[in-house]
Structure 1
Amino acid sequence: IFSLVTGKSVARFRCVSKHWASVLRRSDFTELFWTKSLTRPRLLFTINFKGKLFFYSVPQPHNPDDNSSLVATPYQTCSFPKRLLASISKPLCGLALLMDEPVIRNPATEMFCLGYDPVGKQFKVLCMTSSSFDEILTTHLVLTLESRKPLWRKVERKFLFVTNRRISYGSICINGVLYFGAEFGKSTVMVCFDVRSEKFRFINTDEVMEQDSRFELFNYEGKLGIHRNSYNRYENRFVLWVLEDAGNHKWFKHVLELSPYEEKMVENTKICGMTGTGEIVFASYSHLPISWCRLVFYNMERNTFTRVKIEGFEVEEPRVKKYIDTFIDYAENVEFM
């Protein structure tokens, strides 16, 4: 019964008595709750506004009707100092990495990535630091979240690389491997960090990337997917690349030609990812008014686009433009509650 309630309810039930707390913290229960959560994925939305990060959630639709609507419900709110800007990583096994980014930065550059080892069932945070203006990441640290005495430890690397937001939007962890874009010499590469062995390697992306382009990373049926943004408003198509063979640096290219109507639907959007049912989800970069937003679901098998309106966002000053981050296939995890 407890595995069917929400994570918030589990947190409240743990406060009933020591016995309930003991039962609801057992590893077999948290594993059962996680398994059940995977069968009812949700859409997760975050809004960053005036020192607060607002979370909203709604059940993820499966094959939705065009122009249908859903009402998001408030999830929780996190506050942070006004001098900092909070950003959030893609949720991974129910957890997300919340990062504070100083508005005024010193020459040191840091990048944090959240990874998960499905074999050892461990969450790890990878931190890469540079202390020079060339942004070459020279120090690499790893933190295991389950450790009773968490300590950052250095990891070895065989090559130096530069990563920045001109290349890619963040990182993604798929099947125990962290991926993020970087520059290696004069080439653009995909850096791979094995969360279990804590080893680095890279994959060539010369055939994938073009000059003055940027890519988004997403999970394509258990493989790394890349959507390249060429910033060409007259290019009535979008291109997806899928990593078929990491060892041999082999990529598969999928091109979708868009009609003028379809092109308008996905204009000024980004890919949030691919759902477990094979639908690619697009979301706008910003929204005004904030009380609602629109998602576009692309069914690759049927080659159809479907629009879904998400309502229920209630944040002060609705006429002020704010940015909404959209995450798909979110499932609650009560292990760390």
Structure 2
Amino acid sequence: MDKPTSFETLPLDLQMDILSRLPLKSLVKCIVISKQWASLIRGEDFKNLYLRRSSTRPRLMIWVKRSIPSPPEHEVLWYHSVYDQEEKLMYSRYDKEVLCHSVYQEEEPLLSSGQQQLRIPREPMMGSRVSQPVRGLICLQLETKFVICNPGTKMFRKLPEIQANESMVHCFFGYDEATKVFKVLCVTLSGPGTSTKYQVCTVGSGGETWRRIKCKCDHQPYTEGLFKGGVVYYGAHDTNTDKSMIMCFNLTSEKFSAIKLPKQINFTRRGWDVVNYNGKIAVSIMVDEYTGLLRIWARNEIGVWLKEDIVVSRWKETIETRRWKETVANRRWFRFKGTIGTKELVFAPDSFVDEAPTVLYYNTETQKLRRFTFEHLFNGPPLIGSDYVCTFLDHVDSTWLM
């Protein structure tokens, strides 16, 4: 009679294939089963396999900073780990909450497909930023402090605090394919008449430190970062020539370069975004929300900028709500976030007023416009006033930081 087969006796590639089909929540539990399972799940081969499989089911992530009534006193585990006791007590005076929520962006029903949530209680509103997700990780910035976080596993790694007194700090996040490490770029502006500082921190190098690097073109960042092909792109303003440009930071060489823009683009004007438009680096702006006019400048393979105007059909009727006038008056407009695998254009606001956040999908071929509202996103106290939301495309599940 044959002996029963255990999981450990299966070929290693079959073990990895089975485990790679589990959701992150289950993998976190598997780590504590045995040292052998933990070693397998944390290994480089499994990490890459899981990422490849997850990349076929990309996620839409929203990151909401909301105001809530003062909750009952409770232990804040995240701050126990990330900040010291004195800072935790200071931040507990804030009645704020940060919520990270993601769903599979190309599957129906969108609002209930593979939902994940991460809550960070009482996070201060001012000085807090989140980066574009890269390989399943995000970089959280609280003024001069930084944390790398895996929202799916709720695990994180604290980075050293950057020295930047009374400065404006811009943070960008990416992955260096050559050395297989994540890197954080910080651009620090100290004020008029002072030089800009550029620093890089390599994540996972052991004893992370900030290293000063040079940039021949002093600039002020104006947009969020876009990571693509080992390079971080962001809109900036040359402080010497007063011209707008796209700055490029190569994660491997740690060198800067600049891409010239058409004269019509000025990043000091509110509303411009750097986006991924059908796989191309593009700059976009909502010219008119009443008519749904979106203007895109996309850079082709030979480096030429091509302008494209898109009029979103039924735009006003679709986004019109009982708070439409207040929303427009407060400039909380929908912004173009990029395209997804279905070739649809995705739009989302950067804030909302006493209501649930919404995303719009638009198909330029069929002219079909779909609206998704996260009605039941928040379980708990109601929202108060205006809240800030970041929307990201192509987030994936990964086992980094496990």
TM over 0.5: yes
Indicate which of 152, 171, 189 corresponds to 2:245: 189
Q: 1:296: how far off?
A: 1.1
Distance 1:148 1:69 in 2: 39
**Match status 1:56 vs 2:101:** yes
Select between 268-277 and 17-26 the one with higher mean Cα deviation: 268-277
* Percent of residue pairs bearing the same amino acid type: 27
Distance 1:57 1:83 in 2: 21
Distance 1:88 1:177 in 2: 18
Matches within 5 A, 1:120-269: 120-133=179-192, 138-164=196-222, 168=223, 170-184=224-238, 185-210=241-266, 212-230=269-287, 232=288, 236-245=292-301, 248=303, 250-259=304-313, 261-265=314-318, 268-269=333-334
Indicate which of 119, 129, 132 corresponds to 1:90: 132
Matches within 5 A, 1:281-296: 281-290=346-355, 292-296=356-360
Unaligned runs of 5+ in 2: 1-17, 67-94, 145-163, 320-327
Specify whether residues 288 and 212 from structure 1 end up closer, same or farther in structure 2 by C-alpha distance, changes over 3 A only. closer
Q: Which has the higher contact order (CA 8 A, sep 6+)?
A: 1
Normalising to structure 1: TM-score of the pair?
0.85
- Structure 1 residues 110-160: Cα deviation after superposition (integer angstroms, max 9, x where no partner): 1111012234332110011222335x6621111111201212212221221
| SS at 2:62 equivalent | strand
**Match status 1:110 vs 2:169:** yes
Distance 1:36 1:286 in 2: 33
For these two proteins, the number of residue pairs brought into alignment is 321
| SS at 2:143 equivalent | strand
Distance 2:360 2:228 in 1: 24
**Match status 1:335 vs 2:383:** no
**Correspondence for 2:20:** 3
Aligned partner letter, 1:162 = Q
Q: 1:94: how far off?
A: 0.6
Structure number with bigger Rg: 2
Distance 1:325 1:213 in 2: 16
Distance 1:218 1:234 in 2: 22
CA contact (8 A) 2:286 2:293 kept: no
**Correspondence for 1:70:** 111
Select between 120-129 and 312-321 the one with higher mean Cα deviation: 312-321
Aligned partner letter, 1:61 = E
Specify whether residues 301 and 196 from structure 1 end up closer, same or farther in structure 2 by C-alpha distance, changes over 3 A only. farther
| SS at 2:315 equivalent | helix
Normalising to structure 2: TM-score of the pair?
0.72
CA contact (8 A) 2:226 2:275 kept: yes
Distance 1:159 1:293 in 2: 38
Distance 2:247 2:218 in 1: 11
CA contact (8 A) 2:189 2:220 kept: no
More strand by share: 1
- Structure 1 residues 228-256: Cα deviation after superposition (integer angstroms, max 9, x where no partner): 245x556651111111157x5x2111111
| SS at 1:302 equivalent | coil
CA contact (8 A) 1:71 1:312 kept: no
Q: 1:310: how far off?
A: 3.0
Indicate which of 29, 53, 57 corresponds to 1:12: 29
Distance 2:135 2:236 in 1: 25
Q: 1:269: how far off?
A: 0.5
Aligned partner letter, 1:155 = I
Distance 1:282 1:133 in 2: 35
CA contact (8 A) 2:312 2:362 kept: no
Aligned partner letter, 2:392 = F
Unaligned runs of 5+ in 1: none
Q: 1:208: how far off?
A: 4.7
**Correspondence for 2:322:** none
CA contact (8 A) 2:137 2:400 kept: no
Distance 1:54 1:277 in 2: 27
Aligned partner letter, 1:24 = I
| SS at 2:38 equivalent | helix
Aligned partner letter, 1:99 = Q
CA contact (8 A) 1:69 1:311 kept: no
Aligned partner letter, 1:17 = S
**Match status 1:26 vs 2:43:** yes
Select between 151-160 and 27-36 the one with higher mean Cα deviation: 151-160
- Structure 1 residues 295-317: Cα deviation after superposition (integer angstroms, max 9, x where no partner): 21112333332222333212543
Specify whether residues 21 and 137 from structure 1 end up closer, same or farther in structure 2 by C-alpha distance, changes over 3 A only. farther
More helix by share: 2
**Correspondence for 2:338:** 273
**Match status 1:310 vs 2:380:** no
Q: 1:264: how far off?
A: 4.6
